[in-house]
Amino acid sequence: MNNPQNPAHQMNASCILLAAGKGSRMGIPKWKLEMPDGESFLQYLTRSYTGCGISPVVVTNSRDALAVQSECQPEVKIAINPSPDKGRFFSLICGVKQIRADTPCFIQNIDNPIFCIGILEHMLEKIPFFDVVLPEHKGKGGHPVLLSPDALRKIATFPPPYPVLRDYLATMNTCRIAVDNPAVLLNINTPEAYSQFRATP
């Protein structure tokens, strides 16, 4: 999980990492959480996505934008979310403003530290026929989520009040890809889950 291998070609896609939450339950912003090898979630995910040619990679953030930028590769963009209390849907809108309109985009929460090139490539093969593509393990939907250009345009112009992102995506034409990797279900949103993650070899 910690050592993505670069494919022979660049992926024609962008990526938005949602990292505007306060991380109040964790005690620190979740982008600062560390992989078992000590690399932060932020560094791991931005390095992994940029390393396989996905561009642009955008990180949404609210109050820590300068600190976030200092830990990212120079080509990573920061999208300021002035109102994180409006939820992930609004945070996604902030990120969509900084990506290309004609390519699909991977959406990933910063507390879902999973990256697998093989899964991403399989998702990209399916996206021309769907609005949403996501991996699933044993019937449970996982991460990241891949959105088509048409889905991104609809989200970018959606008026307030904003819906719950997961509920909105559930209304779209979706392809779920069964995978053997249980890491797609990772969700590090409690101190207990984080301790268990850090203890995993």
| Alpha carbons 48 and 142: distance in angstroms, whole number | 18
pTM of the model: 0.93
Tell me the sheet residues that pair with 80: 61
Distance CA 31, CA 73 (A): 15
120-156 residue pLDDT tens: 999 999 999 999 999 999 999 999 999 999 999 999 9
Helix (H, G, I), strand (E, B) or coil at 90: helix
- Percent of the chain whose pLDDT exceeds 90: 82
pLDDT tier at 9 (50, 70, 90 boundaries)? low
Q: If you classify domain 14-199 with CATH, what class do you get?
A: alpha beta
Tens-digit pLDDT profile for residues 47-102: 999 999 999 999 999 888 889 999 999 999 999 999 999 999 999 999 999 998 89
Q: Could you report how far apart the first and last alpha carbons of the chain are, in Å?
A: 10
* Angstrom distance (rounded) from CA 28 to CA 16: 21
In whole angstroms, give the CA distance from residue 89 to residue 84: 10
- Range 105-126 average pLDDT: 96
Using alpha carbons, select from 67, 73, 18 the residue that is nearest to residue 44: 73
Specify the pLDDT at position 33. Answer: 94
> Which amino acid would we find at residue 68?
V
